[in-house]
Amino acid sequence: MDANAVAELEKAGVKVGAPERLFVAAEWRDDKHLLPVGERALVRDGELTAHVTLQPISKLWTGSAKPPSFSPAPPPEYHPFFILIEATAAGYCRAVRNTETDQEFERLYRHLLRRPDGTDRNPLFSYLQGAARLYMSLRDVSQAEFEAVVGRLHQSAKHHSTHVGSINYFQDVLRGVLGA
């Protein structure tokens, strides 16, 4: 958890008690150039937006909590973490008017799992990373819990992939998150 990020969001009027209502919104330099999420992220809470400074994921790991089994489904206490990341992914796809393939989501989640503070050529990676950083700024999350959540997202994208170019993960999971 990051008390500075919480204070920054609260000052802007963002309701930090319900992270499942938030997502990292796409931010444009101009009509054509999407800005990747850097140190600061644009957070959306309904119609309210606010910029917040977020630390790297590795600096946000807190404690040594071990997550329970996510089979057959993650327990309800983890749902807000999943929803924030998936809402960010859906919002990104809607903003750029491009649905990433199941294979690309699978690759991005695997990369986030392996290199949580890394970079990627696909700007969506910085948004997925920003969503994890936002949630971890609001709630205590251990490294094991982070890895379990991102690992489950990777499995979900892989499970939905039926062929090269399929977009089932977006259609079956993400579309309903924001009404994308």
How does pLDDT run across 74-115, given as a tens digit for each residue? 999 999 999 999 999 998 988 888 888 889 999 999 999 999
On the CB side of 84, how many CA atoms lie within 13 Å of its CA?
29
Q: What is the pTM of this model?
A: 0.92
Question: Tokens in use for 109?
Answer: 């989640």
Strand partners, 34: 28
Helices 143-160 and 102-114 cross at an angle (nearest 10°) of: 160
Percent of the chain with pLDDT over 90: 70
d(CA 2, CA 52): 11
Per-residue model confidence as pLDDT tens digits over 120-137: 999 999 999 999 999 999
Domain boundaries, the chain: 3-57+68-178
Buried b (16+ CB within 10 A) or exposed e, 1-25: ebeebbebbeeeebebeebebbbbb
